[in-house]
Structure formats: C-alpha cells, structure tokens
Amino acid sequence: MIRMLTGALMIAATFAAQAVEIGQVAPETRGQRLLYEQSLDIKELRGKTVLLDFWASWCGPCKQSLPMLDQMRTDLVAAGYPDMFEIVAVNLDEDPDAAKKFLKRYPVGYPVISDPEAELATLYKIPTMPTSFLIDPQGVVVWRHEGFRASELSEIRRRLVQTMNGEQ
C-alpha cells in the first residue's frame, strides 16, 4: 500500500508541468517489452495509428480498461483494420512482476512496455492513471484521454477510427 501511494505521489509531483501537447510529435517512446525478451520503439509503428496507454497494476480503472481496450482491438481487427493501428501499453509498476501477475489475470493481445523508473511517464507528463495518447500515422499526438470509464470506450474507438481514416 505504501509503495502504491509513493508511486502515485511520485507521478503527481513529476507532472506539475504541462502534459504532451496535441499537435506535437510524440516524444521518443521505446522500452523493454514486459512479457518478451525484446524491446519496442513506436517509431517502428510509423504509418499506423497508435493508442499509447499508460497503466499500472494498482490502478483501479486499469482493471477495466485493459480488457476493454483488448476487446476493442479484436473488434477493429475483425472489422478490417488489422494493419492500420496498434495499441501499446506502458506499465508503470516499480516491480515488473506485479504487472506480469496482472496480465496473467487480464491478458491483452497488444504489446506492453515496462517503465519501472517512470521515464516515459515523466517524458509524457501524464496527469492520472490511466492516460492514453492517440498518435497519428505521422507520429503526431492528436488526442489525449485521462482516466477511464466503460462509457468512454465508444469515444476512444470513434477517435481511433477517425484517425485511422484520416479524419482528425
């Protein structure tokens, strides 16, 4: 519990400055994948729309958002968008084993980067958990979403599809 509070306070203190701005090129975003012995750099995904989602195992709304985002991804692939987008999750747990345990309970089919030192979270200056950034195929941040409620999934999907279709 103290570790969770310390992490939350650290995140809150770090993000006093302005968050990544809409219209700006996404900061360099790369890291070690949590479940595989390989790294991921979102530059490799240029040409695709990317939903970059920051989360942690101690985040209550994340228990709902990760499985729902995974189902949305499955639905969009089935709807004919398989090569147009990717969801990339950035986990902020100090202990990667806590995140791995979470993902065993709530598995996802998209890549998860481990950020135990909160370097990417600091770079993006996220204000709350979870926070997502929608990045267009040219690497520009076009939308930011803070927090998560199940009722917001349709808006996330709408924005993602709009961006894939070039309707920003």
Q: Would you name the residues annotated as active-site residues?
A: 59, 62
Q: Give the closest residue to 52 by CA, choosing from 151, 107, 124.
A: 124
Q: Give the closest residue to 139 by CA, choosing from 69, 68, 41.
A: 41
Q: Are 91 and 78 in contact (CB under 8 A)?
A: no
Local structure of 25: helix, strand or coil? strand
The 3-state DSSP composition of the chain as helix, strand, coil percent (nearest 5) reads: 40, 20, 40
* Matching residue, tokens 């509070």: 5
Q: Give the closest residue to 90 by CA, choosing from 65, 115, 108, 127.
A: 115
Contacts of 122 by beta carbon, 8 Å cutoff, 6+ apart: 14, 15
